[in-house]
Amino acid sequence: MKINKILGIDCTTEEGDFFSQWIEYLAPKHHLTKSEQKFLAACLRQRHELSKGISDENLLDETALNETYRTKLRQELGISAQQMQNIITKLKKLHILIPRNFPFSDKLSYYKIAPSFIPNYNEDEDFLLLLVFKKKNDRKENTGASIQGVQSTETKD
Give residue-wise pLDDT tens across range 28-72: 888 899 999 999 999 999 999 999 999 998 889 888 888 889 999
152 in any annotated domain = no
125 in any annotated domain = no
Task: Return the number of other C-beta atoms located less than 10 Å from residue 31's C-beta.
Answer: 11
Range 68-72 contact pairs with CB under 8 angstroms and sequence separation of 24 or more: 72/46
Q: How many domains does the chain have?
A: 1
What is the rounded CA–CA span in Å between residue 9 and residue 23?
14
Domain span at residue 82 reads 15-117
48 in any annotated domain = yes
37 in any annotated domain = yes
State if pTM tops 0.85: no
97 in any annotated domain = yes
User: With bands split at pLDDT 50, 70 and 90, how would you rate the model's confidence at 134?
Assistant: confident
24 in any annotated domain = yes
155 in any annotated domain = no
How is residue 50 annotated by DSSP?
H
> What sign does the dihedral 8-12-15-19 (CA atoms) show?
negative
Do residues 41 and 23 touch, judged by C-beta distance below 8 A?
yes
